[in-house]
Amino acid sequence: NNETVVIPVIVNVVYSNPVNNVSIDRILSQEEVLNNTFASTNFDIGKIPNLFKPVKAGNIKIRFTVVDFKRRKVPAQIWQADKNLMKTEQYGIAATNPNKYLNIWVVDNLDQSSTGYSSFPFEHGRWYDGVVIRAVNFGVTNKNAMYGLGRTAVHEVGHYLGLKHIWGDTACGTDNINDTPQQKNAIYGNPNFPFYTSCGGTRRVAMTMNFMNYVDDRSMYMFTRNQGNRMEYEVSARGHRSSL
Ligand code: ARG
Ligand code: ZN
Ligand code: CA
């Protein structure tokens, strides 16, 4: 019943090393990955194990369209806590109206070589509102690389639209999504199915392949129905991101 919401995206490329001045093709590959994964038409969606097929998201009614990109060569190399990359006067690019646009900053490097980070829906419209992605992890680069399929941005946009990590960021915490199984802690790498964790004496098969886990790009390929509903809610008239 609800209409598809198309989120206009501004890509802000803040680079010092020219190799990180990502091409238009890279930007468009990232747009395509976001759209495929939200439509649940990503090439590897068929890998979802039978156990999790009943809770697989269908077509999440959110799409992304890159409406503009900006580029700036800067001297600094590492940002995060001080968010200088989001300030024009401090070697960055200020957000374009974050109430109207999803701003994605593509940067040389992040603290601890982090792959990316995001603001949450309650921070909507703030000057730093948006998603930050380390350039090497932006767009489709290399399907064999740990983060070469553009899924860092999928994960970060998940946060941007209200999703938490499925382990809830604390041992056996909660993501407040009832169709993702409780999981003890972050899962990395390329785990084999089934991969179990235990919480309160109960052993469960972890949904390692969820986009809100910490596995490598080739090992994450699904959102659940309730994660999709949560994101659709945030962009609906009643959500924090209704003005996009
Ligand atoms: N650093 C990211 C965050 O916590 C998670 C990385 C996503 N993982 C991936 N395979 N792209 O927000
Ligand atoms: Zn995360
Ligand atoms: Ca859950």
Q: Of 52, 84, 26, whose CA–CA distance to 205 is shortest?
A: 52
CA distance 67 to 101: 9
CA distance 179 to 90: 43
Catalytic residues, by residue number, are 156
Give, for ligand 1, the residue of 142, 214, 217 to mutate: max count of ligand atoms closer than 8 Å to Cβ: 214
Q: Of 208, 220, 236, whose CA–CA distance to 155 is shortest?
A: 220
Residues 206 and 183: beta-carbon distance below 8 Å: yes
Residues 47 and 141: beta-carbon distance below 8 Å: no
- Phi-psi domain of 12 (left: phi exceeds 0; alpha: psi -120 through 50; beta: other): beta
| Residue 173 identity (one-letter amino acid) | G
CA distances from 151 to 33, 53, 59, 81, 212 (A): 7, 20, 17, 23, 10
The rounded Cα 215 to chain-centroid distance in angstroms is 13
Residues with CB under 6 A from ligand 1: 114-117, 147, 151-152, 155-156, 214-217, 220
Q: In this predicted structure, what is the pLDDT of residue 1?
A: 59
Q: In this predicted structure, what is the pLDDT of residue 17?
A: 92
Q: Which long-range contacts (CB under 8 A, 24 or more apart) does 162-170 make?
A: 162/120, 162/121, 162/230, 162/231, 162/233, 162/234, 162/239, 162/240, 163/212, 163/227, 163/230, 163/231, 164/212, 165/212, 165/213, 165/214, 166/207, 166/210, 166/212, 166/213, 167/213
Å from CA of 189 to ligand 2 middle? 15
| Residue 57 identity (one-letter amino acid) | A
Residue 5, pLDDT above cutoff 80: yes
pLDDT tens digits, one per residue of 161-172:
999 999 999 999
ipTM score: 0.94
pLDDT tens digits, one per residue of 64-106:
999 999 999 988 666 665 577 888 877 789 999 999 999 999 9
Identify the residue whose C-alpha is closest to ligand 1 atom 7: 152
Sorting pLDDT into bands at 50, 70 and 90, what band is 144?
confident
pLDDT tens digits, one per residue of 198-218:
999 999 999 999 999 999 999
CA distance 136 to 80: 16
pLDDT cut 90: percent of the chain above it: 87
Q: In this predicted structure, what is the pLDDT of residue 89?
A: 78
